[in-house]
Amino acid sequence: MKIAMLAGTHSGCGKTTVMLALLQYMNLQAHNPRPFKVGPDFLDPLWHKAVTAKASYNLDTHMIGIDESRRLLNRCAESEGYALIEGVMGLFDGRSGVGEAGSSVDLASQLAVPVILVVDAGGMSGSIVPLASGFCEFAQKCGARIAGIIANRVGSEYHARLLSESLLEYGLPPLLGWLSKDAPRLEERHLGLKIPESVNVPDFQDKLHMNAEHFEAAFSLYQPIQDNPAELGVLQGKIIAVAKDQACCFIYPANVDWLTEQGAKLVWFSPLAGEPVPAADALWLPGGYPELHVRQLAESATLASIKTFIETGKPVLAECGGAMLLGQSLIDQQGKSWPMAEVLPFRSKMQNKLAALGYRQERSGMRGHEFHYSVRETDDALVPCFETDVGDKGVCYKNLRASYVHWYFASAPAAAKAWFT
């Protein structure tokens, strides 16, 4: 398997748009592309899967860790084709500092993966030289290598030629291709891109211009490193019901894999369709967009079924939007209140500004990520269920653990086992 990372100079440079255009191009070139995503993002991987029909796994050096990231890549190492890892934010942006844990360059360095840099070239020609030069020099200091550049928002073939000649003249990595400034744009909402199920995936091929030889040369052969086999079977025989639809769609594929590798059987149901919680030993309510489907959820018979399941005392894990289903009500951005499952004594209220964003770690070692625009309002004292370094400590009731954090199960297997048993 050949591999490269697609990273950007900054958030908003068009990295995800270029990523989707490249995945379409690689499909047409029969490169059998396998997408990955740096960081905790849910939305970009959904778009990757819409183009490639393959699950896109998250990788990073903080929440997931380098060992788990290698294990996920090793699964694909023997396959023919190309792996393309989409970076997060700008190349050197991570949890803190410059090029530190959680950044794209830190992952590229530790995996020895070459970087393809996306540059927003709108309004520049020769200025690409100091920009690219600075990124190349600092990437080298971080132990990574930029193997090529893709320019976004290019005005014409003449503009592209100026960019290419400037890079060549100063001995910088070559221009691998460019995307026209009139390429389709991806629609966004408050948590980022809209999910691909709600909009059509644009066709970028008339707007993408690639040098096939340069592009393929930018990839290197992935060399798998022997990983330590994980303990398996700790959930053998357990049946876990999982909510999954557009209201509960933020699910790491690796979490699904981890549960099944531990011997659990997953049974799926849709709150939006009014389906009851299936017969199960435990329940998982992932996050998503309940606020966009609040009328349908308020009228869904699933909420009563969820409440009944929780009252039995069986284990329940509710994350972010999944936890919002369990309050007394959900107040939308227009101020209208909608009844929810009425399990926990709080109201979830949507606001127009970001409420929380960042990595989280629980005392058990379990790592996760918090990102939401809603806040929890209550007149009662809530019993916390997590001891986190920062951020939401959640709400505990019977055998329910509910919080705003999306957890990554493989980061603390013993804790994940305890949550579902």
Same-domain check for residues 207 and 118: yes
Is 385 one of the catalytic residues? Answer: no
C-alpha distances (whole Å) from 97 to each of 11, 92, 101, 102, 316 are 16, 8, 9, 10, 37
| Residue span of the structural domain in which 63 resides | 2-221
Same-domain check for residues 278 and 131: no
pLDDT of 30 > 70? The answer is: yes
Sheet with 356-361: list strands edge to edge: 356-361, 367-372, 405-408
> What are residue 38's DSSP bridge partners?
59
Q: Is 346 part of any domain?
A: yes
Same-domain check for residues 198 and 275: no
Q: Is 358 part of any domain?
A: yes
Per-residue pLDDT band for 192 (boundaries 50, 70, 90) equals: low
Per-residue pLDDT band for 95 (boundaries 50, 70, 90) equals: confident
User: Of the residues 142, 248, 320, 385, which is catalytic?
Assistant: 320
Residue with tokens 């531990």: 262
Please choose, from the candidates 128, 110, 111, the residue with its C-alpha nearest in 3D space to the C-alpha of residue 119.
128
Tell me how far apart the alpha carbons of residues 149 and 365 are, in angstroms, rounded to a whole number. Answer: 38
> What are residue 260's DSSP bridge partners?
none
pLDDT digits (tens, 9 = 90+) for 392-404: 999 999 999 999 9
Q: Is 284 part of any domain?
A: yes
CATH code, domain carrying 356: 3.40.50.880
Instruction: Supply 347's token pair.
Output: 């109201």
Per-residue pLDDT band for 199 (boundaries 50, 70, 90) equals: low
pLDDT of 186 > 90? The answer is: no
Q: Is 9 part of any domain?
A: yes
Same-domain check for residues 92 and 214: yes
**pLDDT value for 342:** 98
Residue 395 φ/ψ region, left for φ over 0, alpha for ψ in the -120 to 50 degree band, beta for the rest: beta
Q: Is 272 part of any domain?
A: yes
**pLDDT value for 1:** 94
Long-range CB pairs of 68-75 (<8 Å, 24+ gap) are: 68/254, 68/410, 68/411, 69/107, 69/111, 70/111, 70/224, 70/225, 70/227, 71/227, 71/230, 72/36, 72/254, 73/3, 73/36, 73/111, 73/222, 73/224, 74/224, 74/225, 74/227
Same-domain check for residues 27 and 100: yes
Per-residue pLDDT band for 191 (boundaries 50, 70, 90) equals: low
Per-residue pLDDT band for 52 (boundaries 50, 70, 90) equals: very high
Same-domain check for residues 213 and 253: no
Same-domain check for residues 243 and 183: no
Per-residue pLDDT band for 230 (boundaries 50, 70, 90) equals: low
pLDDT of 190 > 60? The answer is: no
Tell me how far apart the alpha carbons of residues 132 and 229 are, in angstroms, rounded to a whole number. Answer: 40
Q: Is 228 part of any domain?
A: no
pLDDT of 193 > 80? The answer is: no
pLDDT digits (tens, 9 = 90+) for 306-339: 999 999 999 999 999 999 999 999 999 999 999 9
Q: Which residues contact 236 (CB under 8 A, 6 or more apart)?
A: 262, 263, 264
**pLDDT value for 77:** 79
- DSSP secondary structure of 213-278: HHHHHT-EE------PPPP--TTTT-EEEEE-BTTB-B--HHHHHHHHHTTPEEEEE-TTTTPPPP
Taking the alpha carbons at both ends of the chain, their separation in whole angstroms is 38
pLDDT of 177 > 80? The answer is: yes
Q: Which residues contact 248 (CB under 8 A, 6 or more apart)?
A: 271, 285, 286, 287, 288, 290, 321, 322
pTM for this prediction:
0.94
Residue with tokens 């903080």: 62
Domain boundary among 166, 189, 221: 221
Same-domain check for residues 261 and 321: yes
Per-residue pLDDT band for 195 (boundaries 50, 70, 90) equals: confident
**pLDDT value for 187:** 77
**pLDDT value for 197:** 67
Number of domains comprising the chain:
2
Tell me how far apart the alpha carbons of residues 35 and 190 are, in angstroms, rounded to a whole number. Answer: 24
Same-domain check for residues 193 and 251: no
Per-residue pLDDT band for 228 (boundaries 50, 70, 90) equals: low
**pLDDT value for 76:** 83
- DSSP secondary structure of 265-319: EEEEE-TTTTPPPPS-SEEEE-BS-GGGSHHHHHT-THHHHHHHHHHTT--EEEE
Q: Is 233 part of any domain?
A: no
Per-residue pLDDT band for 189 (boundaries 50, 70, 90) equals: low
CATH code, domain carrying 217: 3.40.50.300
Same-domain check for residues 156 and 297: no
Instruction: Give me the chain's average pLDDT, please.
Output: 95
**pLDDT value for 198:** 60
CB of 408 within 8 A of CB of 368? yes
Q: Is 338 helix (H, G, I), strand (E, B) or coil?
A: strand
Domain boundary among 188, 221, 254: 221
pLDDT digits (tens, 9 = 90+) for 108-155: 999 999 999 999 999 999 999 999 999 999 999 999 999 999 999 999
**pLDDT value for 229:** 65
Residue with tokens 């951020």: 391
pLDDT digits (tens, 9 = 90+) for 260-316: 999 999 999 999 999 999 999 999 999 999 999 999 999 999 999 999 999 999 999
pLDDT digits (tens, 9 = 90+) for 241-252: 999 999 999 999
Tell me how far apart the alpha carbons of residues 349 and 336 are, in angstroms, rounded to a whole number. Answer: 10
Residue with tokens 């007149």: 379
CB of 172 within 8 A of CB of 207? no
Between residues 229 and 15, the one the model is more confident about: 15
Task: Work out the percent of the chain whose per-residue pLDDT is above 90.
Answer: 90
> What are residue 77's DSSP bridge partners?
none
Please choose, from the candidates 239, 305, 240, the residue with its C-alpha nearest in 3D space to the C-alpha of residue 271.
305
Q: Is 226 part of any domain?
A: no
Same-domain check for residues 155 and 206: yes
Same-domain check for residues 171 and 88: yes
Domain boundary among 159, 193, 221: 221
